[in-house]
Amino acid sequence: MEERVKTRLREAAVAYKAAPIELRDAILEAADDGATDAEIAVEIDLTYSPDYVGRLIRKYRGPRKRGRRPSSES
C-alpha cells in the first residue's frame, strides 16, 4: 500500500473517531443558546432524533429549567 493511501486512511480514521465528540459539543452549544431538541435535530438533518438530542443535553447539562421559554416575538 502506498504511503499516500496509508496517510489518508489514518487521517480519515482520526476524523471519524472525533466526529461524535464534535457533534455532541455542537449540540450542547446550540442548547446553551436556547435551541430546542427538535430544532437541533432538524438542523443536523435528523442524524440524532430529538429524543436522543434531549438525552444528551440532560446527561451533560442537567434538566432544563421548568416553564415556558421566553417568546422570541418583539
Displacement of CA 37 from its chain's centroid (Å): 10
Whole-model pTM: value is 0.74
50 contacts 41 by C-beta, under 8 angstroms: yes
Q: Tell me the pLDDT tens digit for each residue of 28-47.
A: 999 999 999 999 999 999 99
Kindly tell me if the per-residue pLDDT of 50 is higher than 70.
yes
Domain residue limits, the chain: 36-63
